[in-house]
Amino acid sequence: MTSTVAIIILLGVLIFVHEVGHFLAAKYFRVGILKFSLGFGRKLIGKKIGETEYVISLIPLGGYVKLLGESEEEHLTEEEKGHSFAAQPVWKRAVIVFTGPFFNFLLAILIFTFAYIWGVPVLTSEIGMVASGSPAQEAGISVGDVIVKIDGEGVTRWDQVAKKIVESKGKPVKISIRRDGETKDLTVFPKIVKDHNIFGEEVETYKIGVGPAKKLLKERLNPFSALIKATEQTWFITKMTMISIVKILEGVLSPRSLGGPILIAQMAGEQAKSGLLAFLLFMAVLSINLGVLNLLPVPVLDGGHLLFYLIEAIRRKDLSPKWKQRAQQIGFVLLVILMIFVMIMDIERLNNETINKATKFFTR
């Protein structure tokens, strides 16, 4: 699958699912839906069913839902006003707006659930490296040993091993290893070391000086366990995305780490070449990012509309159209600036990559 096809499928699915959320919520509250479009731009084909026109448009990158009374410039009859979006109580409007991002989170949960049922490759608990003079070496741990228990609790994956060591807080850890078919119980004393977290910040953590053997096993879960773990994974990535945004605002993370459509297309193409599962997992992560970004309190985004509704609920009256229009104009300008910035970063990465490839070619 080429990067172009991958990005069309990826963004098409993510934005389409987002709009389906708005569509179903509006249908549930009996709000008039004038149009549901799969894609943007010029209409290719369409069919009107009831009051709603369902169309397929030229640019297959998502879609949109046009609600009755969504624009304050519409002239509606008295009958139409009762089914218009603007006539709904503030909580109903908030639900309709929120359901779009919610469906992005729901899509991620469904993809992760499928992945865990199908089987996800994970690192085993076999040891592939023991640092010289480390607590592990002093305890008698060797390369090729397989950790089967830590403090009496069974482990099979490397992430379980790492988590248990960090949670020890430096207290002695009883580790059961399997070596040449025999099980041995050893006591290891984790030591505190300085390391860097995923945001590049220096932190203190606990380690015993071992590394994984790079051997993989396919972990499969039953549907119920898969759903629970998928929900936990979605929440974890949601939390990390929100923290990343805060870290960028604090200056801990460089804004240059942001990626635009070119980077997304490259990554989508790479994941698609790695297989269906890798592509779907990438789609799940991006769906979460889309959900979080849409909930930011920026006018023109869903989060901006929700902020307006919150203010309206507190004041018990709507904001003036003039004030909302100005806020949305500012929000739109900010988004355009952000889009231009990430596009520049993408092009810069692309140019650097091209230069590196050319340099390797001419100096090999």
Percent of the chain at pLDDT > 90 equals 42
Identify whether the C-beta of residue 164 lies closer than 8 Å to the C-beta of residue 205.
no
Of 219, 236, 261, which one is at a domain's C-terminal end? 219
Q: Is the same domain home to 285 and 262?
A: yes
What are the pLDDT digits (tens) for 84-143?
Answer: 888 899 999 999 999 999 999 999 999 999 999 999 888 999 999 999 999 999 999 999
User: Residue 219: what residue type?
Assistant: E
Alpha-carbon 300 to chain mean position: 21
Taking 80 as the threshold, does the pLDDT of residue 306 lie above it?
yes
**Which residue's entry shows tokens 């448009």?**
57
What pLDDT shows up at residue 361?
A: 33
Per annotation, catalytic residue among 19, 72, 250, 353: 19
**Which residue's entry shows tokens 């366990």?**
225
Identify whether the C-beta of residue 230 lies closer than 8 Å to the C-beta of residue 118.
no
What pLDDT shows up at residue 354?
A: 42
3-state secondary structure of 40: strand
Residues with Cβ within 8 Å of 339's Cβ and at least 6 positions away in sequence, in order, are 260
In this structure, the number of other CB atoms found within 10 A of the CB of residue 301 comes to 21
Instruction: List the end-to-end C-alpha distance of the chain, in Å, as a whole number.
Output: 30
Q: Is the same domain home to 109 and 256?
A: yes
User: Residue 162: what residue type?
Assistant: A
User: Residue 156: what residue type?
Assistant: T
Taking 70 as the threshold, does the pLDDT of residue 259 lie above it?
no
What pLDDT shows up at residue 355?
A: 36
Residue 19 catalytic? yes
Q: Is the same domain home to 113 and 215?
A: no
Q: DSSP string covering 120-157, please?
A: EEEEBSBEEEE-TT-HHHHHT--TT-EEEEETTEE--B
What are the pLDDT digits (tens) for 181-210?
Answer: 899 999 999 999 888 777 777 788 899 999
Identify whether 51 is part of a domain. Answer: no
pTM: 0.81
Q: What does pLDDT average to over the chain?
A: 83
Q: Is the same domain home to 289 and 262?
A: yes
At residue 242, φ and ψ (nearest 5 deg) are -65, -40
What are the pLDDT digits (tens) for 149-170?
Answer: 999 899 999 999 999 999 998 8
Distance CA 132, CA 214 (A): 19
Closest CA relative to residue 159, chosen from 113, 121, 106:
121
Of 219, 242, 267, which one is at a domain's C-terminal end? 219
Identify whether 40 is part of a domain. Answer: no
Q: Is the same domain home to 247 and 109?
A: yes
In this structure, the number of other CB atoms found within 10 A of the CB of residue 75 comes to 5
Q: Is the same domain home to 162 and 196?
A: yes
Taking 80 as the threshold, does the pLDDT of residue 263 lie above it?
no
The CATH number of residue 168's host domain is 2.30.42.10
Taking 60 as the threshold, does the pLDDT of residue 359 lie above it?
no
**Host domain of residue 141:** 121-219
What are the pLDDT digits (tens) for 226-254?
Answer: 999 999 999 999 998 888 888 777 777 66
**pLDDT confidence tier of residue 82, bands split at 50, 70 and 90:** confident
Query: Which has more pLDDT, 149 or 352?
Result: 149
